[in-house]
């Protein structure tokens, strides 16, 4: 039977065509290219296709795709007799389509019809009749409780109706969104006979207080991108004996406008990571005689940021180099074969790469790469490959380090450097030695703006590929729109990446710094470092007195400390676990700036509360640079 797995086999992976953008042929090609075994054909996609169901079946076969499900069949049960006659006619026509498609199972949603009668026995009787018609053709009906169904809105209610119907061609479709959005308990799946579990649909979602229909239609996500306990849900489904494909059904406005090939890869990564989360649990051990879940190499220990790389041009390179020198960095090396400079202070290393091709006016700069120190770079690269992030091709000289890199969703190259390795031998020394000139000791984190369409993809990439976990997630009203910030960290908190995205961007009115990026350096004494930077002429942002007056009112900071923060232009935040001090330079090269931070205790995050103040200050600085004069903007 389609979708059933042999003992000890890997689960089949499927994706609903409704997840993807484009025409049906676009979607099928994307699903096949990402490595899916099967698809759910969404009826609207088939109706709009110029090919017959038989031709679509052949196309799927050529692409190595099974048609796992045809969906949805709506408003079928608990109807008055005259309405049910029309349902039977419609069902027979759809069964014809399924036979031509090669689909053995149809998804039948609990009714939302105003004609429906609140009568479980009637619903069971009519579903039995439909299942009898389907069974005569060798087809099956998977009944699903919509979370907004008129009379049946929970999975356990749908099971009661299927149980009463008592037909072998009628079973359940369990959809994680419909189950978890209603707060239902997946552990009760164990009460359902395994042969009545016909299909499984997986979707994640953020926790939102809104109408469940709108939540479902616009805000679903792939597993690992939202807040649902998908590993726990899947564990209960598999423990109950489910043997069919793991299928994704995600309604999301962004996904349905994005490149389908890229979305399909993101979807596949989410399934592999979901399987991995379950594979190492005691529950998975009981399944191994019939199911082998994905187990890519585990994420090796990360020990810090090896370097951050900024792409520069002939105009921005000297500017960035001059500011690094003022920050106390020493220019310690030139790459053997590439126009790349190495700058160091303490354990912080910044590379300026003049070989990067930059677009736009002269003077651009971009954080184009970062490197994490890995205890096992080969395993880090193998893990990335297993999670659909292939290693990038690179040219290197015969005496240069073979350092693997993968591309993050925003195009940033992520390198894996061996902890304690000798990759710095790729640079010829200049004779200058790194010092602790201004108290900077290392890289605290890297801040990267994400394109709105790929923000969820980026969060999953860093979580799955690097093994980072969300530390904080905040939204704040910036001067020119709402911004969402999510910080991801490794278990030791030695690698941090702050991902930010403008939640809505409409029209041409966006006079802010476009897609800002920054490198945040660590110090143990923000006041001493700030004073040293001021004395060295580092172009630090000017923070208005209003901010410090508000800080005093809100947090009653010690007056001496407040005066010191005002003197150096530092921002301040604290949470239940510690404090966070941070100051920033002006924007250098259109979108890049440097930050210096000090943490105390186990403060989590990257100072998002103060980001609007910093962004407004950057706006004033940008206008001064554009106008060549002072401004009150």
Mean pLDDT computed over every residue of the chain: 92
CATH at residue 486: 3.10.180.10
**Structure-model confidence comparison of residues 582 and 295, the more confident one:** 582
Count how many Cα atoms sit within 13 Å of the Cα of residue 185 in the half-sphere of its side chain: 4
Point out the domain boundary residue: 285, 314, 341.
285
- Whether residues 277 and 307 fall in one domain: no
User: pLDDT for 460-512, tens place per residue?
Assistant: 999 999 999 998 888 888 887 788 899 999 999 999 999 998 876 544 555 56
Q: Please, which residues have CB within 8 angstroms of residue 383's CB and are 6 or more apart in sequence? A: 296, 297, 298, 299, 300, 465
User: Cβ–Cβ contacts within 10 Å for residue 347, how many?
Assistant: 15
Position 435 pLDDT exceeds 80:
yes
Percentage with pLDDT > 90 across the chain: 77
Using a 10 angstrom Cβ sphere, with 0-12 exposed, 13-18 middle and 19 or more buried, the burial of residue 182 is middle
Please check whether residues 446 and 547 belong to one and the same domain: yes
Q: How many domains does the chain have?
A: 2
Question: pLDDT at residue 28 above 70?
Answer: yes
509 and 593 co-located in one domain? yes
**Are both 187 and 261 inside the same structural domain?**
yes
Is residue 195 located within the same domain as residue 136? yes
Model confidence pLDDT, tens digit, residues 215-228: 887 779 999 999 99
Tokens of 457: 């993809």
**pLDDT tier, 288 (very low <50, low <70, confident <90, very high otherwise):** low
Per-residue model confidence as pLDDT tens digits over 349-379: 999 999 988 887 888 999 999 999 999 999 9
At 345 the pLDDT is: 97
Same domain for 431 and 355, yes or no, is: yes
Structural domain of 112: 13-285
Residue 462 lies in a domain: yes
In the structure, what pLDDT confidence band is assigned to residue 6 with cuts at 50, 70 and 90? very low
Rounded CA-CA distance 117/548 in Å is 64
**Domain final residue, candidates 285, 319, 345:** 285
Number of Cβ within 10 Å of residue 99's Cβ equals 16
Query: Quick check: is 292 in a domain?
Result: no
pTM: 0.90
Give the pLDDT band of residue 629 (cuts 50, 70, 90): very low
271 found inside a domain: yes
Please say whether the beta carbons of 379 and 297 come within 8 A. Answer: yes
Flag whether 42 is in a domain: yes
Confidence check: pLDDT of 417 > 80: yes
Give the Cα separation of 457 and 464 in Å (integer): 10
Claim to verify: residue 281 and residue 313 sit in the same structural domain: no
The domain that contains 55 carries what CATH number?
3.20.20.150
pLDDT number for residue 505: 57
Domain identity same for 461 and 331 = yes
What pLDDT is attached to residue 286?
Answer: 64
What pLDDT does 283 receive?
Answer: 65
**What letter would DSSP give residue 256?**
G
128 occurs within a structural domain = yes
Do 449 and 588 sit in the same domain of this protein? yes
Residues 31, 36, 41, 44: is their CA dihedral positive or negative?
A: negative
Q: pLDDT confidence of 257, banded at 50, 70, 90? A: confident
| Dihedral (CA of 186, 20, 271, 497) sign | negative
pLDDT, tens digit, for every residue of 559-597? 999 999 999 999 999 999 999 999 999 999 888 999 999
Residue 632: its pLDDT value, please? 46
Split at pLDDT 50, 70, 90, the class of 230 is very high
Lowest mean pLDDT among 197-206, 255-264, 477-486, 487-496: 477-486
Higher pLDDT, 10 or 203: 203
Lowest mean pLDDT among 85-89, 436-440, 454-458, 623-627: 623-627
633 lies in some domain: no
- Regarding whether 502 and 395 lie in a shared domain, the answer is yes
Q: Does residue 491 form part of some domain?
A: yes
User: 2 lies in a domain?
Assistant: no
The pLDDT of residue 626 is: 67
Pair 275, 399 in one domain: no
Cβ atoms of residues 446 and 519 within 8 Å:
yes
d(CA 191, CA 279): 23
pLDDT value at position 279? 82
Tell whether the torsion through CA atoms of 233, 234, 235 and 238 is positive or negative. Answer: positive
Q: 464 — phi, psi (to 5°)?
A: -80, -50
| 274 and 313 share one domain | no
Which of 223, 253, 285 corresponds to the end of one domain? 285
d(CA 115, CA 138): 30
Residue 546 CA to its chain's centroid (Å): 37
């Amino acid at each position: 039977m389609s979708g059933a797995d042999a003992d000890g086999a890997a689960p089949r992976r499927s994706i609903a065509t409704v997840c993807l953008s484009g025409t049906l042929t676009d979607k099928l090609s994307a699903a096949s290219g990402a490595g899916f075994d099967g698809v759910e054909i969404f009826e609207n996609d088939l109706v709009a296709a110029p090919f017959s169901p038989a031709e679509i079946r052949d196309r799927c076969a050529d692409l190595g795709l099974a048609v796992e499900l045809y969906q949805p069949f709506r408003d079928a049960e608990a109807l008055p007799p005259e309405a049910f006659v029309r349902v039977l006619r419609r069902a027979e026509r759809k069964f014809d389509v399924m036979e031509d498609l090669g689909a053995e199972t149809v998804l039948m949603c609990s009714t939302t019809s105003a004609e429906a009668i609140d009568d479980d026995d009637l619903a069971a009787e009519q579903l039995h009749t439909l299942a009898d018609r389907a069974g005569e053709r060798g087809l099956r009906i998977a009944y699903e409780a919509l979370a907004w169904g008129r009379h049946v809105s929970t999975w356990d209610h749908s099971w009661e109706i299927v149980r009463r119907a008592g037909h072998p061609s009628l079973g359940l479709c369990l959809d994680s969104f419909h189950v978890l959005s209603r707060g239902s308990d997946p552990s009760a799946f164990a009460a359902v006979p395994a042969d009545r579990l016909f299909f499984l649909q997986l979707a994640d979602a953020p926790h939102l207080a809104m109408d469940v229909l709108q939540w479902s239609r616009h805000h679903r996500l792939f597993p690992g991108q939202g807040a649902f306990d998908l590993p726990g849900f899947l564990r209960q489904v598999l423990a109950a004996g489910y043997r069919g494909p793991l299928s994704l059904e995600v309604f999301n406005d962004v996904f349905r406008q994005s490149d389908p090939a890229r979305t399909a890869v993101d979807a596949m990564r989410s399934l592999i990571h979901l399987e991995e989360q379950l594979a190492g649990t005691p529950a998975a051990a009981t399944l191994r005689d019939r199911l082998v879940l994905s187990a890519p190499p585990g994420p090796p220990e990360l020990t810090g940021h090896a370097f951050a790389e900024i792409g520069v041009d002939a105009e921005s390179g000297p500017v960035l180099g001059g500011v690094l020198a003022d920050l106390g960095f020493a220019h310690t090396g030139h790459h053997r074969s590439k126009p790349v400079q190495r700058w160091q202070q303490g354990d912080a290393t910044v590379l300026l790469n003049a070989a990067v091709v930059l677009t736009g006016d002269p003077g651009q700069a971009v954080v184009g790469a970062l490197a994490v120190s890995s205890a096992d770079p080969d395993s880090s690269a193998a893990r990335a490959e297993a999670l659909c992030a292939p290693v990038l091709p690179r040219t290197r000289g015969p005496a240069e380090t073979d350092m693997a890199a993968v591309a993050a969703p925003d195009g940033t190259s992520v390198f894996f450097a061996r902890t304690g390795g000798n990759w710095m031998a790729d640079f010829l020394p200049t004779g200058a030695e790194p010092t602790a000139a201004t108290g900077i000791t290392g890289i605290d984190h890297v801040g990267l703006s994400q394109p709105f369409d790929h923000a969820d993809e980026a969060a999953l990439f860093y979580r799955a590929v690097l093994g980072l976990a969300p530390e904080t997630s905040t939204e704040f009203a910036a001067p020119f729109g709402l911004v969402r910030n999510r910080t991801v960290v490794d278990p030791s908190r030695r690698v941090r990446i702050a991902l930010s995205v403008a939640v809505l961007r409409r029209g041409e009115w966006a006079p802010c710094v476009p897609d800002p990026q920054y490198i945040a350096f660590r110090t143990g004494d923000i006041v001493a470092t700030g004073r040293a930077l001021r004395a060295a002429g580092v172009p630090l942002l000017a923070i208005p007195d209003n901010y410090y007056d508000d800080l005093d009112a809100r947090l009653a900071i010690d007056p001496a400390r407040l005066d010191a923060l005002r003197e150096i232009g530092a921002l301040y935040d604290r949470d239940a676990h510690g404090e966070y001090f941070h100051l920033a330079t002006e924007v250098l090269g259109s979108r890049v700036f440097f930050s210096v931070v000090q943490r105390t205790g186990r403060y989590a995050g990257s100072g998002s509360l103060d980001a609007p103040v910093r962004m407004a200050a950057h706006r004033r600085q940008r206008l001064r640079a554009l106008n060549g004069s002072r401004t009150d903007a």
